Amino acid sequence: MSEHLYKIAVLAGDGIGPEVMGEAVKVLRAAEARHGFTLELNESPVGWAGIDADGKALPDATLELCRGSDAILFGSVGLPDRDPTIPKEERPERAALLALRKIFGLFANLRPVRLPTELAHACPLKAERQGEGIDLLVVRELTGGMYFGQPKTTETLDDGQQRAIDSMVYTTSEIERIAHVGFKSAQLRRKKLMSIDKANVLENGVLWREVVTRVAADYPEVELDHMFVDNASMQLLLNPAQFDVMLCENTFGDILSDEAAALAGSLGMLPSASLGETEGDKTFGFYEPAGGSAPDIAGQNLANPIAQILSAALMLRHSLGENDAAAAIESAVGKAVTDGLRTGDIFNADDPNARQVGTTEMGDAIAAAV
Ligand code: IPM
Ligand code: MG
């Protein structure tokens, strides 16, 4: 295999997944031509598309494809109205998404949230609360905590009641490795890390704070602060500009990243990366838009492809080391926004510079700029 040939598992999934993935592929092909590398893009079904094709949300062939790839570019899975009777273990959210996170040890989830000044209208906060601008990164631990901790069960008690148990479990090493990701991310940004916990109540919170504080000694140039999660959820609304990197355990990061995403006006703009351990110079990763499958707008050329396109840029940077191509895609997205191109989710009729476009037109413009 040549240095510059990369194998990518392309799992578009359900709802708007295939449409926005089509645009990301278009943009990747443009980057490939311009930046001198070759992508072998192999598509395979996942989610309801996997159930339809092969009886399960993560077909064996899809998993095998992922195992043989340098990275996974993922669309979205889940169609809430499809079949409410399917057992919970077989639902795409658990059987595909959580399964892939666990199988590939994708413990570090990066969710950058940025509100471009041109889209300040889309932010639900008043202008004065937006402060100097919203530009933060949620670093979420993704394979521990209540999502996977044991015991995890629902049992029937002697008196006939049911009791559900989810266990919040973290070991020192799990906290350490995500803390390193948090500090390293902060080093590349504004050098401020806010560690989020609930150390006033939870054993997990006490350990989290101790370990993060210890890891901080390796990063003297990064300013570390701690905040309780309830206060953090409030501070995001009162003064989001205070945050640079927010370091969270799994459940807190799930909740705070949705809250932070709302500040950027549209989920359709936000990419994410889920990374495993770095081995040698390789980091296997899974790249997906922050928004869901949005079945209500699927198939109508309405979806915003930017989150999927920026996820592809994160893939180029974190798993393939193609930093120039990643930056080129990011600036092409910036250009499309500055030029006034707007899918419906970010359109503002009062902005004389704004022009409403469909999914494909947005993708074409970004690919052309790359
Ligand atoms: C996310 C999603 C998932 C999660 C769901 C779909 C299982 O909300 O990626 O944030 O809770 O992690
Ligand atoms: Mg979530």
Ligand (nearest to CA of 289): 1
Give the confidence band of 3 by pLDDT, cuts at 50, 70, 90: low
Domain boundary, last residue among 206, 232, 263: 263
Tens-digit pLDDT profile for residues 319-367: 999 999 999 999 999 999 999 999 999 999 999 999 999 999 999 999 9
C-beta of residue 369 within 8 angstroms of C-beta of residue 341: no
- On whether the pTM is more than 0.85, the answer is yes
Atom of ligand 1 nearest to the CA of 254: 10
For residue 343, give both structure tokens: 């899918």
What per-residue confidence (pLDDT) applies to 278?
A: 94
Mean pLDDT of 2-14: 90
C-beta of residue 268 within 8 angstroms of C-beta of residue 346: yes
Q: Which of 60, 83, 230, 296 is catalytic?
A: 230
Mean pLDDT of the chain: 96
Tens-digit pLDDT profile for residues 100-143: 999 999 999 999 999 998 899 999 999 999 988 899 999 999 99
Is residue 351 flagged as an active site residue? Answer: no
Rounded to the nearest 10 degrees, the angle between the axes of helix 323-338 and helix 306-318 is 160
Is residue 152 flagged as an active site residue? Answer: no
Helix (H) or strand (E) holding 360: helix 359-369
CA dihedral 235, 240, 244, 246 (to 10 degrees): 40
**Which domain covers residue 360, as residue numbers?**
1-115+265-370
Tell me how far the alpha carbon of residue 234 lies from the centroid of ligand 1, in angstroms. 21
Tell me how far the alpha carbon of residue 256 lies from the centroid of ligand 2, in angstroms. 9
Is residue 345 flagged as an active site residue? Answer: no
Is any atom of ligand 1 closer than 6 Å to the C-beta of 197?
A: no
Domain boundary, last residue among 200, 235, 263: 263
Clarify whether residues 248 and 132 are in a common domain. Answer: yes
Q: What is the CATH number of the domain that holds 171?
A: 3.40.718.10
Tell me how far the alpha carbon of residue 186 lies from the centroid of ligand 1, in angstroms. 24
Clarify whether residues 237 and 143 are in a common domain. Answer: yes
Q: Which of 70, 254, 345, 364 is catalytic?
A: 254
Residue whose C-alpha is closest to residue 7's, from 66, 70, 74: 70
Does residue 181 carry a pLDDT above 90? yes
190 or 3: which carries more pLDDT confidence? Answer: 190
Tens-digit pLDDT profile for residues 310-328: 999 999 999 999 999 999 9
Is any atom of ligand 1 closer than 6 Å to the C-beta of 97?
A: yes
Mean pLDDT of 223-250: 98
Tell me how far the alpha carbon of residue 97 lies from the centroid of ligand 1, in angstroms. 8
Tens-digit pLDDT profile for residues 249-291: 999 999 999 999 999 988 999 999 999 999 998 999 999 999 8
Is any atom of ligand 1 closer than 6 Å to the C-beta of 254?
A: yes
Clarify whether residues 258 and 144 are in a common domain. Answer: yes
Q: Which of 198, 287, 345, 364 is catalytic?
A: 198
Clarify whether residues 226 and 167 are in a common domain. Answer: yes
**Which residue, judged by its Cα, is nearest atom 5 of ligand 1?**
93
Residue whose C-alpha is closest to residue 81's, from 298, 345, 304: 298
Clarify whether residues 36 and 93 are in a common domain. Answer: yes
Clarify whether residues 282 and 342 are in a common domain. Answer: yes
What per-residue confidence (pLDDT) applies to 2?
A: 43
Place of tokens 């919040």: 168
What per-residue confidence (pLDDT) applies to 265?
A: 83
Is residue 52 flagged as an active site residue? Answer: no
Which of 128-132, 221-225, 297-301 comes out lowest in average pLDDT?
128-132
**Which residue, judged by its Cα, is nearest atom 2 of ligand 1?**
254
Total Cβ atoms within 10 A of residue 12? 26
Clarify whether residues 22 and 80 are in a common domain. Answer: yes
Domain boundary, last residue among 214, 230, 263: 263
C-beta of residue 21 within 8 angstroms of C-beta of residue 363: no
Clarify whether residues 281 and 362 are in a common domain. Answer: yes
Tell me how far the alpha carbon of residue 349 lies from the centroid of ligand 2, in angstroms. 30
What per-residue confidence (pLDDT) applies to 132?
A: 85
Residue of 93, 139, 287 to test ligand 1 pocket, by largest number of atoms within 8 Å of CB: 93
CA distances from 120 to 50, 115, 129 (A): 38, 7, 11
Q: How many domains does the chain have?
A: 2
Clarify whether residues 287 and 235 are in a common domain. Answer: no
Clarify whether residues 183 and 58 are in a common domain. Answer: no
What per-residue confidence (pLDDT) applies to 320?
A: 97
Q: What is the DSSP letter of 280?
A: T
Clarify whether residues 221 and 238 are in a common domain. Answer: yes
C-beta of residue 241 within 8 angstroms of C-beta of residue 265: no
Does residue 173 carry a pLDDT above 60? yes
What per-residue confidence (pLDDT) applies to 1?
A: 39
Tens-digit pLDDT profile for residues 71-85: 999 999 999 899 889
C-beta of residue 357 within 8 angstroms of C-beta of residue 306: no
Clarify whether residues 92 and 45 are in a common domain. Answer: yes
What percentage of the chain exceeds 90 in pLDDT? 94
What per-residue confidence (pLDDT) applies to 133?
A: 85
